[in-house]
């Protein structure tokens, strides 16, 4: 064997031995200088990866089969948020499309209902608008056919159908049929997408401003053949302004006043003129013959609230979960008592 080859092999062996020895020394040094969980009250406990022990501090713990310890409020909140993410705020389950994700939706609804069952009437049910003032973002809803239904405008439509001579059409509830058709017309083929959904409650002016972002032509290509956008994406934030008051038992009563829009940063609109358009929905509503002079009234029950969570229930029993936003957005309408 050539001398240089022997020297190379010897060098590699020495290098491997030295590396192994160095690793052992470093491991022993680390073990000696790492504080144990019991050495200090401020030390973090270490759990091995193969240890399948549910932690009381774990937000997503499933618990052992014989563990009947109820989840804490924070754990329930975290699970609702996780399920809201998995279900795209509830949009992933759509009974028009099929029954897939129905099991997940049912599990999420049960979690929200469990959270509601923990509500202390003296603490978690609002008494005044001041209790729930400020900005809230929708993170989950059980309502079918569109998360835009959290808007008082659509809640008023839902309530108006209750006054119809016949509340059924083609064997279905007229309100739900309307929302189903509306969703099919506006969201088919990815033409329109609903983005951020939020509400702002101003106790001073007694107004609630409901917002939802919508983008149009987000995805516009020729299937299979096209690899570029045919049309630009545009849209904005639709705002419905309604008067509101807090009634006994946490009922939030609302009357739609007008609808307008605002620009969403980074999203093109149809033109600057669109932002100044203000539709007097409340006035027009009374003139429509089927409304028989009634105002655009609606209401929801606030069945749970605290410093960062708020849950509303509509007249069909569907639930809307809101949280305080991490990234807030200014709304210039809030500077005016009545724009």
pLDDT of residue 147: 83
Q: How confident is the model at residue 28 (pLDDT cuts 50, 70, 90)?
A: low
pLDDT of residue 102: 92
| pTM of structure | 0.74
Tell how strand 319-323 and strand 134-141 pair up: antiparallel
pLDDT of residue 40: 41
Q: Is the pLDDT of residue 268 over 90?
A: no
For 220-254, the pLDDT digits (tens) are 666 666 666 666 666 888 999 999 999 999 999 99
CA distances from residue 102 to 105, 107, 109, 141, 245 in whole angstroms, order as listed: 5, 9, 10, 13, 35
Higher pLDDT, 116 or 57: 116
Strand partners, 60: none
Pure H helices in 189-321:
281-287
For 293-338, the pLDDT digits (tens) are 999 999 999 999 999 999 999 998 999 999 999 999 988 764 444 4
């Amino acid at each position: 064997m050539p001398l240089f080859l022997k020297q190379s092999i010897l060098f590699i062996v020495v290098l491997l031995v030295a590396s192994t020895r160095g690793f052992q020394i470093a491991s022993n040094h680390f073990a000696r200088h790492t504080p144990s969980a019991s050495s200090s009250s401020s030390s973090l406990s270490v759990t091995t990866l193969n240890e399948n022990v549910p932690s009381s501090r774990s937000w997503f713990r499933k618990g052992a089969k014989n563990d009947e310890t109820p989840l804490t409020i924070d754990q329930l909140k975290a699970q609702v948020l996780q399920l809201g993410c998995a279900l795209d705020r509830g949009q992933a389950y759509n009974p028009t499309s099929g029954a897939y994700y129905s099991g997940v939706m049912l599990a999420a609804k049960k979690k929200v209902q469990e959270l509601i069952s923990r509500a202390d009437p003296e603490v978690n049910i609002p008494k005044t608008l001041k209790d729930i003032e400020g900005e809230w973002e929708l993170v989950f809803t059980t309502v079918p056919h569109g998360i835009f239904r959290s808007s008082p405008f659509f809640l008023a439509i839902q309530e108006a159908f209750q006054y119809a001579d016949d509340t059924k059409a083609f064997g279905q509830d007229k309100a739900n049929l309307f929302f189903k058709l509306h969703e099919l017309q506006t969201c088919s083929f990815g033409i329109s997408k609903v983005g951020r959904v939020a509400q702002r409650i101003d106790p001073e002016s007694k107004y609630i401003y409901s917002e939802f972002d919508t983008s149009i032509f987000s995805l516009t290509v020729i299937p299979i053949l096209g690899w570029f956008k045919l049309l630009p994406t545009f849209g904005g934030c639709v705002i419905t302004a309604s008067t509101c008051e807090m009634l006994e038992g946490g009922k939030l009563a609302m009357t739609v006043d007008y609808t307008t829009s605002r620009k969403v940063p980074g999203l093109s609109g149809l033109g600057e003129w669109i932002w100044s358009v203000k539709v007097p929905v409340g006035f027009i509503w009374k003139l429509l013959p089927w409304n028989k002079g009634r105002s655009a009234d609606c209401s929801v029950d606030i069945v749970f609230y605290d410093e960062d969570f708020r849950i509303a229930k509509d007249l069909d029993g569907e639930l809307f979960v809101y949280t305080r936003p991490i990234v807030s957005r200014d709304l210039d309408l809030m500077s005016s008592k009545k724009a």
